[in-house]
Structure formats: C-alpha cells, structure tokens
Structure 1
Amino acid sequence: MTKKEALTRAAAELLWERGYTGTSPAKVLERAQAGQGSMYHHFSGKAELALAAMARMSEELRTRAETALGGEGGAVDRVNAFLDLERDPLAGCRMGRLTQDYDIVTDERLRAPLAEFFGWLDERLTAVLADGVRTGELRPATDPAATASLVMAAVQGGYVLARAQQRPAAFDRTVEGLRQVLADLRTHSGEN
C-alpha cells in the first residue's frame, strides 16, 4: 500500500469514527504511520484528503449496494439483500454520519460527495422498485421514488436509533418494519 493510500484509508476510518471536525491531520498521520510531510506531499490540506477519503468510502459502499441490488430475484428480494448487508449499527453509516458534521454540510465542496452518493443510491433503489412495478411484482400504485426514499430513511433512521439507545436491536427492528412494508406492496402474483 502506498503512503497516499494509507493516508486515505486512515482518513476514511477517522472520518467514520470522529467526523471531519474531530479528524486532525496529526491523527491521520499517526493512524497511517506516516511522517509529518507525507500528507502535504500528496494532498493540499485536510479538505482534499477528506474528499479522497469520502470518494473511497462512497466507492466501497456503492460496490456493496450494487452487489445486492443487482443480484438475482425480484425487486423485494434485491432490496432485502441490500437490507441484509453486514452493518455495524452502533458505528453508523459511513456516509450518513458525515451529514451531521457542521463543517461538511456548510461546505458545498465537502457536501458534494454525500449528495452524490445518496443521489446514486436513491436512483438505484428507485430503478429496482420501478422494475418491480413493471413486472407486476409490486402493486401498480406503488411510487418507486417515494418507496426508495422510505428505504433510505429507514436505514439511516435505524442507525440513529441504534446509536442513541446503544442497542443494535433498534436498527434490526427498524429494518424488520421496512421488510413488512415492502412485503405489503407485493401483489399476490409477486409473492414467494
């Protein structure tokens, strides 16, 4: 692994754990086991390093989500596969947690990767659900875009509840409720 990759990985881990405000260049250097000048050799500053780290996190999350959403089965099966992805509810969503960081949401450049990632996920879920409506698996009155927003809101909200209560079961309960909603959207011909 190159020093640039080590710095990016360390920054991604720290952003997830501490947020942008709590991630200092010194902590990144320490975690990456890099020398004082390494960061500024590869990045112009903290913001550029954070952007590289967010791009890395986004790509990893997209790959995982696409594996589930692009898999076998009907729309509900694929969304359920997305819900089944291994997660640490107490750690929260790598990208979702950053939306709570004042320095990120007030900086258009730093906020852009978050908007882009969640925009992609929204479009991808909407496409899967629209396919379910098109094939007759889901009720014709199902609004794929609204349902995609519900899926994302439930997952992010499940993280918030689990972290607030320090109980992973709160996330699991939220996901189970979402599964019931999705099952109720199935037509009789779309049921397994």
Structure 2
Amino acid sequence: MWSVSTSERLIESTRELLWERGYVGTSPKAIQRRAGAGQGSMYHHFDGKPDLALAAITRSADELRVAADAQFTAPGTAVERITAYLRRERAVLKGCPVGRLTQDPDVMADATLRRPVEDTFAWLRERIAGVLTEGVQSGELAAGLDPAATAATVVAVVQGGYVLARAADSTTPFDQAVDGVLGLLAAQPAG
C-alpha cells in the first residue's frame, strides 16, 4: 500500500493552513498536528516554518498554473479558452490559495515568500495576454484590443470576484463578475 511521505504531508498541511489561517496563524505545532508528524520530522525535512511555507506556496502556485494552462492550451477560439478558464470549477467561497496570500502582510513583506505569488500572477497575465493576442491576430477580437491590459482585467475580475463572493457569502457576485468580463470580450468583435 502506498503512503504519502512525511514531507508531502507537511507541505499539504501547510498549504491548507495558509489558505485557512494565513502565515501568522499557521504555527509549526498546527502544521505538525495536521500532518501527523513530529517536530523532529518537520525539521528533518525543512529548515523551519519559512522554508516549509515557501514549499507550500510554490506548490499552490504550480497547481494554479497547471490548472489554468489546461484551459489556455485546450482547443477552441481565444474567447472559448478564456471562458473555460473563467468558468472552471473553483472553491469560490474559500478564495484563491495564491491570491489570498497577497493579503498576508508577513508573506508580502518577505521577498522570498512573495516571489512565487508575484511570479504566478505575472505568468497568468502574460499567458492570458498571449491567448488574447491570438484572438486579435486571427481576427476573432478587435484589432484595437490591448491584450496586456485586458489580461490584467481578467485576472482582476477573478481575484476581485473571490473577494466579492466571500463578502456576500455567495458565489453570485463571482459569477456576475465573470459574466461581465465575458460580455466585454464579446463586445470586441473583429472589425
């Protein structure tokens, strides 16, 4: 029978706790408890909480990229691929596991912990801009559309949609934000 390694359990436990509680609220004891690992095991695999947090944040960032790229590389028009990305299944009321870290002052104050967050959002904007550029080049979208600015808008809609949904304790505001940005894209016909 296959079992998950202690280091994997520690990383996954840290990911969950960062998403739920933030960096300050994620104590080494809480990580160890959730992972079913002792202090010695934790410090055997990681130099400390910052090292473990970096592994967890990097894992969350990598998973976000893989999930998003599945829509961006799928067959279909640019708008169909952006739509698939925007409408993919998400834990809307929990928020984005990477985006929520931007609200954590301890993560943002630490350049090493902030880097995978910053890099992921830069990658996401660039990747969406690439898909939109394809849409402009194919004539699907208006020649005057600014792919970089529109990509930033798409990312802001998703992240802001999470905030609105959490504030309302309802996925409706997220869905409305997605509908709104898709309506704006649909209003960009080739000319």
Q: Give the TM-score, by structure 2 length.
A: 0.96
Q: CA deviation at 1:187?
A: 2.3
Q: Distance in 2 between matches of 1:58 and 1:85?
A: 17
Q: Distance in 2 between matches of 1:151 and 1:70?
A: 17
RMSD: 0.9
Q: Which amino acid is 2:104 matched to? A: D
User: Deviations for 1:95-117, whole angstroms, at most 9, x for unmatched residues?
Assistant: 00000001011111111110111
Counting only pairs closer than 5 Å after superposition, residues 18-167 of structure 1 correspond to structure 2 as 18-167=21-170
User: Percentage identity across aligned positions?
Assistant: 51
Moved segments of 4+, more than 4 Å: none
> Could you tell me whether the CA contact under 8 Å between 2:93 and 2:171 is conserved in 1?
yes
Q: Which amino acid is 1:20 matched to? A: Y
Count of matched residue pairs: 188
Q: Which amino acid is 1:100 matched to? A: Q
Q: Distance in 2 between matches of 1:28 and 1:54?
A: 14
User: Deviations for 1:98-140, whole angstroms, at most 9, x for unmatched residues?
Assistant: 0000101111111111011101101100100001111110000
Q: Distance in 1 between matches of 2:188 and 2:34?
A: 47
Q: CA deviation at 1:70?
A: 0.7
Specify the SS of the correspondent of 1:37: helix
Structure 2: 5+ residue stretches without partners: none
Q: CA deviation at 1:35?
A: 1.4
Q: Which amino acid is 2:127 matched to? A: R
From 179, 184, 188, the equivalent of 1:181 is 184
Q: Which amino acid is 1:124 matched to? A: R
Q: Distance in 2 between matches of 1:167 and 1:35?
A: 38
Q: Which amino acid is 2:135 matched to? A: G
Q: Which amino acid is 2:98 matched to? A: M
Q: CA deviation at 1:60?
A: 1.0
Specify the SS of the correspondent of 1:97: helix
Specify the SS of the correspondent of 2:125: helix
Q: Distance in 2 between matches of 1:18 and 1:182?
A: 36
Q: Which amino acid is 1:135 matched to? A: S
Q: Give the TM-score, by structure 1 length.
A: 0.96
Q: Which amino acid is 1:122 matched to? A: R
User: Deviations for 1:141-184, whole angstroms, at most 9, x for unmatched residues?
Assistant: 00000000000000000000011111111111111111101111
